[in-house]
Amino acid sequence: MRKLRKATSFGCGGLLILCLALAVISTISNRGLPTRPQPTDRLDPLDKARLEESIHLKSQLGESVWPGWGKMEIPIILWNQDYSFLITYPDQPPGWEVIPDDTFFGQFYYRQPSDDPQNFAVNVDERWVASIGTKYEMDASLIGVFQELLPPVIEKIFPYRLLILPSEVQISAALHESFHVYQAEVVRQRLEAAESAHKLGDAYWQADESMHDAWAEEIEKLSNALAAPTDQEAAEWVRQFLGQRLQRRSSQGLTQDLIDYERWLEWEEGLAKYVELAIWKAAYEARAYQPVDGLANDPDFKRYATFPQRWSQEVDQMKRQAKQDGETRFYYTGMAQAMLLERLMVNWKARILSENVWLETLLGAIE
């Protein structure tokens, strides 16, 4: 018995030492977290390189991901907490100033103080522009979420470096937002209708409280379809997914407005999420593709090699959405349906832009 107590004592002591060592290592690691680029009134060289890569990636591989989008000229706003920067815009718009002694692609670019900046398509002087935060702002936002959720003791020692995103996340997110510009330019009325559907959110999420289990089954079938080894098996899981979706809506008595809320958000955000991941996948698979030279100095850029891990994380995240409130669920379910259409239906991209056509409509037409 004494030997057992002694072994237990040594075990607890060793565990305590290990925990203390990990806490020290984590604290030291956190001291080396990236700091906000300075100055903030112009673009940092790495931010320029990432933005240049977004433009380059779209120009080189965009047409293979979505015909018409790849070759469309789309200006971009890149913002930090202090300033928003307007890049590749043809002329100086009202309210924007030329940044002195600096250029992007050899051209002037513009700035104005950041005022509630957002990640979406925004209108600048009657022209649609893609808007996205810098990578530092994305990393800081994610770290901030964890700091708010963690208990005070853990919050001080949590290894936040694990949360630093690969640069590919920000690069592809910029293209996510640029696809919203494509939607605005090509099917303006549909995008406006999708935006209008957001007002139904309060009513939807009240109804959603009793649908979590049904949503979990639905998303599981969607996940199985994505993982199916053959097209035949994928198509069978698609049929089961659509059947489960129909049953959920019927048993819960969802109104047509709330059904359309799901469809609009999957169309609007799911397609953009699809483009975000499909362009990353295209770069991963294109052996001849060469990123811009400026990213050679970016420690967070992995040359798109981490796509398989990212894809696995995204599918896991989709599964977690079943019992979480918020529109993010439809980013994922829409993206997954688009990925399946890419696998199972020719010319689906032209059809999905037509009036009264939904992702689930096209999936239902698969034989």
Assess if residue 321 is contained within a domain: yes
150-156 long-range CB contacts below 8 Å, 24 or more apart?
156/27
Same domain for 158 and 94 = yes
CB 160 within 8 A of CB 33: yes
Axis-axis angle for helices 45-65, 271-285 (nearest 10): 100
**Per the domain annotation, does 37 fall within a domain?**
no
The 10s digit of each residue's pLDDT in 66-122 is: 999 999 999 999 999 999 999 999 999 999 999 999 999 899 999 999 999 999 999
- Say whether both 262 and 164 belong to one domain: no
Q: What are the residues whose beta carbons fall under 8 Å from the beta carbon of 195, sequence distance 6 or more? A: 268
Tokens of 150: 């963690």
Q: Does a structural domain hold residue 8?
A: no
Tens-digit pLDDT profile for residues 277-327: 999 999 999 999 999 999 999 999 999 999 999 999 999 999 999 999 999
CA 53/CA 105 separation, integer angstroms: 12
Q: Is residue 327 located within the same domain as residue 348?
A: yes
Domain boundary among 184, 210, 231: 184
350 shares its domain with 203: yes
> What Å distances lie between residue 156 and 16, 25, 33, CA to CA?
18, 12, 14
- Pairing mode of beta strands 83-87, 97-98: unpaired
The pLDDT score that the predictor gives to residue 336 is 98
Residue 22 lies in a domain: no
Asked if residue 69 and residue 160 are part of one domain, the reply reads yes
CA max distance for the chain? 83
**Residue that finishes a domain, picked among 124, 157, 184:** 184
Q: Domain boundary residue among 147, 168, 184? A: 184
Cα(60)–Cα(286) distance, integer angstroms = 10
Query: How many domains does one find in the chain?
Result: 2
Q: pLDDT digits over 24-50, tens only?
A: 444 545 666 778 999 999 999 999 999
pLDDT beyond 90 at 155: no
The Cα–Cα gap between 178 and 272 comes to: 8
- Segment 167-194, tens digit of pLDDT: 999 999 999 999 999 999 999 999 999 9
- Which amino acid is it at 223? S
Residues 193 and 118 in one domain: no
Domain that holds residue 290: 187-364
Residues 106 and 132 in one domain: yes
**Are 234 and 325 within one domain?**
yes
